[in-house]
Homo-oligomer: A and B are copies of this chain.
Amino acid sequence: MILRHLLLPDILELVEANRLNEVRDFLAKQPAPEITDLLAALDDKDALLIFRVLPRTLADEVFSLLEPNLQNWMLKNMAQEEVRYVLKGLTPDDRTALFEELPARVVKGLLTLLNDKDRKLALTLLGYPEGSVGRLMTDRYVTVNPDWTVTQTLDHLRAAGMDSETMTMIYITDAEGHLVDDLRLRRLILAAPMTRVRDLLDGHYASLTSLQDREEAVGIFQDYDLFALPVVDADGVLLGIVTVDDILDVAEEEATEDFHKMASVRPLQTSLKDATIRLLVHKRIGWLLALVGVNIFTGMGLSIFEETIQKVVALVFFMPLLIGSGGNAGSQAATLLVRAIATGDVESGDWWRIFFREIAVSVSIGAIMSAAVFFLGWWLGHSLGVGVVVAASMFALVIMGSLLGTTLPMLLDRLHLDPATAAPPLITSVADILGILIYFSIATLFFRWLPIG
């Protein structure tokens, strides 16, 4: 932030004056995320110009941190040889992340620029399903043989370790490549030089499988408090590792997706800032139209009660209040539950307990709300009868909404659908129809038996 806020004008001035060596010398001493931030604030052309003067390794790191849109634009506007260098400088997991964002046609072209080994690796990673752990893997880790001594292992690390993304954990594999155990680098360093690696092992380790869902991996990282986890195939062969920095990004992405689903927006893949008008309309209109469909039934439901409405117009005044309260109670219940399912706090074994507790909670909330609106109904409706009808309806609607908000996410989860799609607006719309039917049924019955007032 410092660079962008304080030095942007100075840097632009140097660029204007073509004093690029000075820019280079200055930026070479800055951390990569600061430079990324600076490039994002420039227009694309200046960003590319400055990117080109960065020292090679810094440029690699900066590129991997850029927004996908800017990465894409830069690649399009670079010479082929330049693109080759940039791709070579990325770690395999960052490369997969980049390819995920680009159109298939572009990816195909880029793949031809990689050397054989990197191309094979990229194709392997892209072969894993979207959203799977396999796509997050990197091959930059160190494996050692359990029979080596600590000194031998440290020598091996010196020779092989330059390229590895993390050396916090070292992985022990047998001759067939099966993962045998993991070992913290610090245990290795703290051990006596002639100890055999085998004697440092504790015989248990955590691992992911390549086809596992990324969301599950977030939970496992949280449970184990580790910086990297090894990924194995069905036979236990070590395929790669996943590091926690990618998992932190996944956690934020998943939370954002669930957020958007809760508001009935189809998940945005790009940043909101860069989304086009067309894309936003496209992502938002679908659910809104679907809810219009649902709300037609609300209108039809209302028309059944035309007679009651004409008799006691005051009932209409309380409609938004009652319907809204039922829907709000429902979306509260649903949101609490959806989030708890997403974070693994609530599992299917807990459902009956949560359902029965929700009955107790909604009866309590319903009673309080009902008491609050009884006098309101009496006073604003100029009739004790309206007060009674409003209070009774409030009680029924809050319970109905809460139970709807609890059962719908549970039902979807049991059907193996994502509970976040039981978005509050959907629950609200269903609660609307049921609410209107309940409210005016109570009113019709009441005023049939009793004279008004």
Interface residues of A (CB under 8 A from B): 29-31, 33, 36-37, 65, 154, 157-158, 161-162, 164, 166-168, 185-186, 189-190, 203-206, 218, 221-227, 244-245, 247-249, 251-252, 255-256, 258-260, 262-265, 268, 271-273, 277, 280-281, 284-285, 287-289, 291-292, 295-296, 298-300, 302-303, 306, 309-310, 313-314, 316-321, 323-325, 328-329, 331-332, 334-340, 343, 345-346, 350, 353-354, 357, 360-361, 364-365, 368-369, 372-373, 376, 380, 398, 424-425, 428-429, 432, 436
Contact = CB atoms under 8 A, between A and B. Distances in A.
Contacts of A291: 324-325, 328
Q: Which 10 A-B pairs have the closest CB atoms?
A: A263-B335, A255-B255, A33-B223, A295-B321, A272-B340, A225-B245, A299-B317, A298-B320, A167-B186, A259-B339
Given A223-B33, A252-B251, A329-B284, A336 B272 contact: yes
B287 A328 contact: yes
A313 B324 contact: no
Residue picked from A259, A268, A291, most chain B C-beta under 10 Å: A259
A59 to B, nearest CB: 15
Given A222-B245, A222-B249, A295-B321, 11 more contacts: A33-B206, A168-B185, A227-B244, A255-B255, A277-B357, A281-B361, A289-B368, A291-B324, A309-B313, A316-B316, A424-B424
Contact of A317 (B33, B245, B303, B335): B303
A405 to B, nearest CB: 9
24 contacts: A161-B190, A189-B189, A218-B248, A225-B245, A226-B245, A227-B227, A251-B255, A256-B343, A259-B262, A262-B262, A264-B332, A272-B339, A273-B354, A277-B357, A284-B332, A287-B328, A287-B332, A289-B372, A291-B324, A296-B321, A303-B317, A320-B436, A324-B429, A324-B432
